[in-house]
Amino acid sequence: MNPSPLSRLIAGTMTWGVWGKNYNTYEMANLIEVCLTNGISSFDHADIYGLYTTEAAFGRAWKAAQLDRQQLQLISKCGIQLESAERGVSIKHYQYNQRYLRDSVEQSLRNLQTDYLDLLLLHRPSPLMQADEIAEAVNKLKSEGKILAFGVSNFTPYQTDLIRTKIEVGYNQIEFSVTHPEAMLNGSLDHMQIHGIQPMSWSPLGSVFKKNDEQAARVREVANALSMKYNISLEAILFAWILNHPAGISPVFGTTHPERIAALTQAQTIKLELQDWFALWTASAGAPVP
Domain ranges of the chain: 10-169
How does residue 88 score in pLDDT terms, banded at 50, 70 and 90? confident
Annotated catalytic, 49? yes
Return the CATH number of the domain spanning residue range 10-169.
Answer: 3.20.20.100
What does the radius of gyration of the chain's CA atoms come to, in whole angstroms? 19
Tell me the pLDDT tens digit for each residue of 32-61: 999 999 999 999 999 999 999 999 999 999
CA distance 179 to 172: 19
Percentage with pLDDT > 90 across the chain: 95
Q: Which of 49, 116, 171, 230 is catalytic?
A: 49
Q: In the chain, where does DSSP find H-type helix?
A: 25-37, 49-52, 54-64, 98-112, 131-143, 157-164, 188-195, 214-230, 234-243, 258-264, 274-285
- Burial category of 264 from C-beta neighbours within 10 Å (exposed 0-12, middle 13-18, buried 19 and up): buried
Whether this prediction's pTM lies above 0.95 is answered by: yes
Mean pLDDT along residues 123-139: 98
Residue 177 has pLDDT above 90, yes or no: yes
Whether the CB-CB separation of 15 and 22 falls below 8 Å is answered with no
Looking at residue 53, what is its pLDDT? 97
How does residue 87 score in pLDDT terms, banded at 50, 70 and 90? confident
Looking at residue 84, what is its pLDDT? 87
